[in-house]
Structure 1
Amino acid sequence: MPTTIPAIEDAQTLAQAIVDTIHEPLIVLDGGLRVLAASRAFYEIFRVDLEHTMGCRLYDLGDGQWNIPALRLLLETIIPEKTAMDGFEVDHDFPGVGRRTMLLNARKVIYETSENSTILLAFTDVTARRAVERDRANLLEHTEELLRQKQVLLQEMQHRVANSLQIIASILLIKARAVTSEETRLHLRDAHQRVLSVAEVQAHLHASGDLDQIEVGPYLAKLCASLAASMIGDSHPIALEVEADDGWIGSDKAVSMGLIVTELVINAIKYAFPSGRAGARILVTYRGEGAGWLLVVHDNGLGSAPFVTPAHGGLGTAIVEALVRQLDARMQIETSEGMTVSIRHRAAG
């Protein structure tokens, strides 16, 4: 059988003791919104005394400074309808405390043996929490603005770099047409293609909006299409094809990979098909291998080209070897049924 409190006075003493143990401000109001009890925390935090609190109407406390529209809405409209409300936020210059943001939790208590009712009203000070949230929101907004400005600056830089590369490529092409030395003309044309390969990376960065990653397949396809348009004539047809897995690569590595493909394709176009035979084909393949990758440039030409022979290796050979090392990759060359240059990068670990 449950234990009961023997007297009303004992019940009131127990209720007041419970109220005083609560660390947050709490007041008990009667049906007329007069203060029946208040916690010790309420007196301490709001700097009011017992004499001017007990029995007073809530709105009259502190010379009417508790007559807050939001509080009236809670007590006179919401609580009568719902009997309970949690987290009702009030921002107010509270008497004796200053500007504070409070969360109010209210409960209407209805008794079985009486028509009277009481309201429990608890306050949680969230001023510091809201200040932190505002600071965080302002910081986030400021950070987003800085990122937006950075994006605009980077896009402007990309635009300027792309224009500069196109100007350089055009100048090299003009010079190649103007010089009388065939050897110099070839070197200038090679330099022109190297500049275009870097320009393709810039174009992909600008088009994708991604400053860090390049989609390999479309990048290699556009690069080889540019090489074919500028170096393969109708009188000497060569099919230049690209097969690539879905995959992305860092933009810095894409530059190196693009330059490697440029050098190998130019080498094949210039030296693998001297007789202009039918069915000439160059295939560029990219395959993902877990965290690594395999890049292959294959032609069905003579199977021997100056790139293969160190004695004939020139600037292009040195460039490819340096770029392969830069990519932390390994290169293998086979000359049966044409020439196949395989460059494999294995993930560390």
Structure 2
Amino acid sequence: MPRPIPGIEDAQTLAQAIVDTIHEPLLVLDSAFSVLAASRSFYETFKVDPEHTVGCLLYALGDGQWDIPALRELLETIIPERVAMNGFEVNHDFPGLGRRVMLLNARKVIYETSANSTILLAFTDITARRAVEREKESLLARTRDLLNQKEVLLQEMQHRVANSLQIIASILMLKARAVTSDEIRFHLKDAHQRVISVAEVQSHLHASGGVDLIEVGPYLTKLCASLAASMIGDSQPIVLEVVADHGAIGSDKAVSIGLIVTELLINAVKYAFPVFRHDARVTVTFASDGQAWTLTVCDNGVGKAAEPAPDRNGGLGTVIVDALVKQLDGHMTVASTGGMTVTIRHAHVGASPLVAA
């Protein structure tokens, strides 16, 4: 229980000292809304003096400039019903201050020994805070507009790239059909297949929404399913399996990984199974460990035959893969025991490190 103050004069002295000590502007009003006391900060903030404040009706202060509709609503409607109100916001041209945004906190004080009541009314100037919030909202809105513009431009660029790749692929196929040389036709069709593979990688990255980090498992699964649908025929069914953890990698690195997988799958589908094999299988594995990762493409085909086809012994596909592996700062090993296994390891921090989810 609070200890009583010995005399009423002591209580008034203490109350006035408390009022003057409060940093925020504060008014003490009677039940008729006349000013009983005001804090020192009230006088300093609103540039008024005690002689024209104490004993005056609040609404009459400053030639009626405090007759604010929002303030009347707070004191005459809300306070009688709720006793206290915190954070009542008022935007007004305050006398001596100009346009300000104020938070008003009001509390009705009821006494046990008297029928009278008083109202404590405190003001907090949040004009600067609201200005900062408006500026922040404006910056966020401009940022959203710029991001939307970037997204539109990115989609337009991706659309044009996809169209360009399709045009190039169509031209290569037309040329392949027109030439009489089998060797030239082979190389044109090979180039056509690689342009299609680049288009597949681009389309799958586009489907990822242009994010900076790509989750490798779903990305490779969709890519390989699309490649299988376009490359694997009924004459030699091949099971294409993707085994990947939850690692994610930068979208720039994902392009190179997608192209590597595409080249190795093209190689396996073309050359690993020269004769029908009912259990033909190609497995793509991706495993991450912190900032390191390992990519493996393994088939159970013939491996390196005595007279290997061009890409089984170092043709264009191998040159492309070698270049992409160097671009990824990786190391590639090739093993041919019971099929072909190509393993690519990235063991150190690169420019766009892998993130394990």
| TM-score over 0.5 (shorter chain) | yes
Match of 1:269 in 2: 269
Alignment-derived partner of residue 170 in structure 2: 170
**One-letter amino acid of the structure 2 residue matched with residue 288 of structure 1:** A
5+ residue gaps in structure 1? Answer: none
Alpha-carbon shift at residue 192 of structure 1 (Å): 1.6
1:290 corresponds to which residue?
Answer: 289
| 2:245/2:288 contact within 8 Å kept | no
**Aligned amino acid, residue 75 of structure 1:** L
What is the aligned partner in structure 2 of residue 84 from structure 1?
A: 84
2:158 maps to which residue? Answer: 158
Q: Which residue of 1 aligns with 2:241?
A: 242
Quickly say closer, same or farther: Cα 1:303–1:14, change in 2 above 3 A: closer
What is the match of residue 281 of structure 1?
280
| Distance in 2, Cα, partners of 1:225 & 1:114 | 85
- Measured against aligned partners, the alpha-carbon deviations of 1:153-182 in whole angstroms (never above 9, x if no partner) come to 111111111111111111112212222222
Q: Which residue of 2 aligns with 1:337?
A: 338
> Aligned pair in 2 of structure 1 residues 13, 86: CA closer, same or farther (>3 Å)?
same
Separation (CA, whole Å) in 1 of partners of 2:212 and 2:61: 62
For 1:21-40, list aligned pairs within 5 A.
Answer: 21-40=21-40
Number of residues paired by the alignment? Answer: 346
Q: Distance in 2 between matches of 1:245 and 1:167?
A: 33
With the length of structure 1 as denominator, give the TM-score of the two structures.
0.89
Task: Compare 150-159 and 12-21 and name the one that shifted more.
Answer: 12-21
CA RMSD of aligned residues (A): 2.7
Counterpart residue number, 1:113? 113
How far, CA to CA, are the matches of 2:31 and 2:293 in structure 1?
77
What percent of counterpart residues are identical?
A: 68
Partner Cα separation in structure 2 for residue 102 and residue 33 of structure 1 = 19
> Hey, what does 2:140 align to over in structure 1?
140
- Deviation string 1:81-117 (CA, Å, 9 cap, x unpaired) is 2211111111110111100111111111111211111
What is the TM-score when the length of structure 2 is the normalising length? 0.87
Q: In structure 2, give the amino acid aligned to 1:93.
A: D
Tell me the residue number matched to 2:69: 69
Structure 1 residues 290-334: Cα deviation after superposition (integer angstroms, max 9, x where no partner): 334333222333221578999952322221112122222222222
In 1: Cα distance, 2:277 partner to 2:330 partner = 34
Q: Which runs of 5+ in 2 are unaligned?
A: none
Cα 1:307/1:204, change in 2 over 3 Å: farther
State the Cα deviation string for residues 27-66 of structure 1 (Å, max 9, x = none).
1111111111111111111111222111110001111111
Does the 8 Å contact 2:260/2:324 carry over to 1? Answer: yes
Quick one: distance in 2 between partners of 1:2 and 1:31? 26
Deviation track 1:229-255 (CA, whole Å, cap 9, x = no partner) reads: 555554x42415122225443332222
Give the deviation of 1:68 after TM superposition.
0.7
1:254-287 Cα deviation digits (max 9, x unpaired): 222222223223333333334x333372403223
Structure 2 counterpart of 1:324: 325
